[in-house]
Chains A and B, each alone.
Chain A
Amino acid sequence: MSLFAWVTLGVGGLTLVLGLLLLIRGPSWLKRTRPIQLGVVALSGVATYKLVAFFAIAALPVATLGAAHVELLEGAKSVEACAGCHVMWPMVNDLHDPASDSLAARHFKNRYIQGEECYHCHSGYGFNGALSAKLEGYRHLVRYTTGIYQEPIRMRGKFDTASCLNCHEGTRPFEAINSHHVASERLAEGTMSCTNCHGPAHPTRSERTPGDAHYQGLMRDPL
């Protein structure tokens, strides 16, 4: 588990302990203690209680949830995180499929990206990514957990071609193709997609439609 996961667990655990104590034992338990001497400061029972309450209700929980949020965002970069929702299983299965010719599968097969493969192209999700990408991710979360979606799922808006160009632009093979220069402005603006010539990145919508011949195979649990 990563750092922020541990932080969440640790601080959260502490919160639970303190909070349960306060809840079960009640405030009077703390308030009846004798003043505690902390150096020059003397904390009365009530003061102690209020300090503990502050940590139990405000500071620690906020820290816990903060850590949980960071963990969520950073954890969203992993392929396992994407695979957490079954509607994404086709993308993950296709990614790992050596027989597939989708862009995702080809990048994977060639080991161009080692680890966090989804994130390297859909790079808005991490902490340093675009706010809109994260917001979109949160929206996906609600849609999925509430079940308000239809298969095949569709991406809202467009994929940012900058994600392709960040790696490919400037390389010798890329620059050697004249059509890239003809298309350069549109690629930069995002009005033309790289997938237009290079094909779909993931299984097509038809393949991901329940009832399609490919659907069963694509909907295996990849983990």
Chain B
Amino acid sequence: MDEEQGEAGDSSGGAEGTTSFSRRDALRIASALGLVSLGGGAAWALLEGELAHQPAVSWHKSVCRYCGTGCGVQVGIRDKQVVEVRGDEDAHNRGKLCIKGSLLPVLNTLPGRLTTPLIRKDGKLEPASWEEAMSLVASRFSAAIREDGPNAVAFYGSGQLYTEESYTANKLFKAGIGTNNVDGNPRLCMASAAVGYTRVFGKDEPPGAYEDIDHAKVFFLAGANPAECHQPLFERMLARRRADPEVRIVCVDPRRTMTAEYSDFHLAPRPGADLLLLWSMAKVMLDEGLFDDKFIAEHVAFRTNEGKAAGLEELAAFLEDFVPEDVEVQLGISSAQIREVAHLFAASDATMSLWTMGFNQRVDGVALNTTINALHLLSGQIGRPGATPMSLTGQANACGGVRDTGSLSHILPHGRMIAKAEDRAEMEKLWGVPEGRIQAQPGLHAVALFQAIEEGKVRCLLNMCTNPGQSLPNLARYRDAMDKVFLVVTDVFETASTELADVVLPSALWLEKEGVYGQSERRYQLLEKLLDAPGQARSDLEILVDLAARLGHEQLITAKTPSAVWDEYRLLSAHSKYDFSGMTRERLRAAHGLQWPCPSETHPGTVRRYIAGDPFVPKGQEVRFYGHPDGRAYVHLVPYEDRSDPVDADFPLVLTTGRIVEQWHTGTMTDRIPEIRQGTPRGHVEMHFADADVLGIRDGEQVRVQSRYGAIEGPVRVTRGPRPGTLFASFYDAKWLINQVVCDRVDPLSKQPDFKTTAVSVRSVSA
């Protein structure tokens, strides 16, 4: 029976391949194949569906809120909230951010946002309407102007405002109200660099770009801690060194920072003496024949400190004072190291120096800036890939927003000077205001402004997007001054400045408004509005436009939206060597920023200035420093003079302040982010174990740090970071105002305060 069954079941008939194909067979085959396809297809469908699709996140190009690196970011938004921020792989930072940038998703939903205007009534800040607040501001400003003239009011702005906002404020105050009292926190940050570049090249802003990092052979980092403060740039330098093992990183810093740890050479000068290093390096270069004589002959001119023309003889005579063996004791760096570094700098295929606050926030900040530039000019380390003097900017928009728009008390847009009559006249014409509207006298720089407030000369101050109540040097004195003046503060959270304000206006934060940021390498990038501001918060531009109208200047401030302001401003640039009139909003929307000069809509932007390729360098010329009529860059023979806060028996140590990677400036944003707040120590001072031992101070103790300006008590951390004789503190803790201790000496040319060398004493106050 089985046989039968078998036979019957096997309906294909005989054994020897005779296939009588019946319909049943066809059906079986068809069904089998059908099932196979179904099986395969079902499996695939399951796979496609099984793996949980994230609900759709839309990604948007933007720029980080924080430092002057200006990293491109991709912002992931779902349900009108930022869910993730990633580095933009296609931007200059190649997908890399630092921890602050990575934690940006938290920023816009932090609790405590200011959502309504506040007016101080009977000592307390009370909620008010925009109408009430703005009319109060307008009436107080008008009254002050009417009674004491335009210089009775002032604007204190920020390198974190959008370019459109700073431009509008600058125009309103200088060409509307008619006061040059427009200054801002870049005075505390970049003024020395700006003045330095201008004195050397005739024009502000770096000649090179971040791209030079990919070609340099020697990195000369001075007064900078990019491993913490410009992290993606330092990553790029490390990547360069990984790619080419001959690359060397030199770090000049009185502290053993994270940057120093990664560097090949660490030179720790005595604070305040580093100009000796730079000139001493020049002396070595001269003696060893490492100057680029051809380059000097063709493109460099010399000026004595008094401004007289000079030549190589004067340079040689000048450098006699800087023999390494003669300066090593005062400088604190051995002559051997000086010679080593001088060789590295001058003889390498391409040397790139990068500096920031260690050079800028100094009483001789301008001298340090002009001299570091001079080293590049003398050794010919400039004007080719990898060879360039690159000043790193601290804030996201100090370059584009403040320096370039001319929003400081002594300048006008695009490199013009208030002191020059022809520059004022040109701006008056371009802005369509009557001749003489712009005051001939430069206005008050930051420290002078707060001193004038103290004296009652400035009655009203509009403070936007910055926190001088925590960031000014000699803080206690100027906080008292801020208390006196009619202070209007726009910000996103309560800060050490809002607590002194008479009117607080809630402003829109990152992504809640649209505008342009311009970072260190002359790259302008657009940040689009992706979120709504909470409550009644408004953008600073809206506030300025409103104020302008209320003060009677709506005929002047006609551009009321970010794009309108941008178009006005970029077309204005065509009248200068900044010319970025080719950077239309559409181009900025599409591109990962563009570097100026960019004079036409098809121009790709300029990576390196002053060389062939720069639209202002005449055809056929390889190099021209067109900022000066003679086409040359100037080396200024500025002698070394120790004008820092003097160290003596009463104040034997030196306090330096600075940043750490996790915290941004006064911590008004980052110190509210729980992970950052919990992950960083509260305000404290760092001390070298050698000093601690001598003073009998132990790690963790409470100490009193005292200077000629103020005092503060707090914990001490004993480390090997600061150079013996030096202390370090950061200023992000609103409950530990270290700037009370910091001196307010300024560089005589740039008026930038010296946050880096305050003479202090330290003693234990633990019970």
Q: A99–B51 Cα gap in the complex (Å)?
A: 36
Return chain B residues, CB-CB under 8 Å to A27. Answer: 6, 10, 15
Return chain B residues, CB-CB under 8 Å to A179. Answer: 98-99, 661-662
Return chain B residues, CB-CB under 8 Å to A195. Answer: 86-87, 95
Shortest C-beta distance, B35 to chain A (Å), equals 16
Find B102's partner among A138, A181, A196 (CB 8 Å cutoff). Answer: A196
Whether A200 touches B89, Cβ cut-off 8 Å, given contacts A31-B3, A178-B679, A182-B675, is yes
Return chain A residues, CB-CB under 8 Å to B6. Answer: 27, 31, 46, 49
Interface residue? A169 (CB, 8 A): no
Shortest C-beta distance, A138 to chain B (Å), equals 6
**Residue on A nearest B676 in the bound complex, by CB:** A182
Shortest C-beta distance, B481 to chain A (Å), equals 36
Q: Mark contacts of A162-195 with chain B using CB atoms, 8 A cut-off: 1 yes-contact digit, 0 otherwise.
A: 0000000000000000110111011000011101
Shortest C-beta distance, A196 to chain B (Å), equals 4
Return chain A residues, CB-CB under 8 Å to B16. Answer: 26
Interface residue? B230 (CB, 8 A): no
Q: A132–B662 Cα gap in the complex (Å)?
A: 35
Q: A199–B678 Cα gap in the complex (Å)?
A: 26
Stretch at the interface among B235-243, B515-523, B558-566, B694-702: B235-243
Return chain A residues, CB-CB under 8 Å to B97. Answer: 196-197
Q: A101–B99 Cα gap in the complex (Å)?
A: 20
**Residue on A nearest B48 in the bound complex, by CB:** A139
Return chain B residues, CB-CB under 8 Å to A24. Answer: 17
B86 touches A196 (CB 8 A): yes
A183 touches B89 (CB 8 A): no
Find B94's partner among A25, A28, A199 (CB 8 Å cutoff). Answer: A199
Interface residue? A136 (CB, 8 A): yes
Interface residue? B231 (CB, 8 A): yes
Query: Restricting to B25-75, which residues have a CB under 8 Å from any CB of A?
Result: 43-44, 47-48, 50-54
Return chain A residues, CB-CB under 8 Å to B661. Answer: 178-179
Q: Mark contacts of A188-218 with chain B using CB atoms, 8 A cut-off: 1 yes-contact digit, 0 otherwise.
A: 0001110111111000111000000000000
Return chain A residues, CB-CB under 8 Å to B678. Answer: 182
B96 touches A197 (CB 8 A): yes
Return chain A residues, CB-CB under 8 Å to B53. Answer: 156
Q: A24–B2 Cα gap in the complex (Å)?
A: 21
Q: A29–B53 Cα gap in the complex (Å)?
A: 56
Shortest C-beta distance, B599 to chain A (Å), equals 26
Interface residue? A157 (CB, 8 A): yes
**Residue on B nearest A105 in the bound complex, by CB:** B242
Interface residue? A122 (CB, 8 A): no
- B contact patch SS: mixed
Return chain A residues, CB-CB under 8 Å to B601. Answer: none
B96 touches A198 (CB 8 A): yes
B96 touches A199 (CB 8 A): yes
B51 touches A204 (CB 8 A): no
Q: A52–B465 Cα gap in the complex (Å)?
A: 85
Interface residue? A106 (CB, 8 A): yes
Q: Mark contacts of B649-686 with chain A using CB atoms, 8 A cut-off: 1 yes-contact digit, 0 otherwise.
A: 00000000000011000000000000110111000000
Shortest C-beta distance, B662 to chain A (Å), equals 6
Q: A139–B52 Cα gap in the complex (Å)?
A: 13
Find A200's partner among B84, B95, B676 (CB 8 Å cutoff). Answer: B95
Whether A26 touches B662, Cβ cut-off 8 Å, given contacts A182-B675, A198-B96, A204-B95, is no
Interface residue? A51 (CB, 8 A): no
Q: A193–B676 Cα gap in the complex (Å)?
A: 17
Whether A204 touches B47, Cβ cut-off 8 Å, given contacts A182-B675, A183-B102, is no
Q: A31–B3 Cα gap in the complex (Å)?
A: 8
A135 touches B680 (CB 8 A): no
The CB with the most chain B CB atoms within 10 A, among A26, A182, A205, is that of: A182
Return chain A residues, CB-CB under 8 Å to B99. Answer: 179, 182-183, 197
Q: A192–B98 Cα gap in the complex (Å)?
A: 12
Interface residue? A113 (CB, 8 A): no
| 15 extra interface residue pairs, beta carbon distance < 8 Å, beyond A24-B17, A26-B17, A178-B680 | A25-B15, A46-B6, A101-B243, A132-B51, A142-B44, A157-B51, A181-B679, A186-B102, A192-B102, A192-B103, A195-B95, A196-B85, A199-B94, A200-B89, A204-B90
Could you write out 11 A-B pairs with CB less than 8 Å apart?
A24-B17, A27-B6, A27-B15, A46-B3, A101-B242, A156-B53, A157-B54, A182-B679, A183-B102, A196-B102, A198-B235
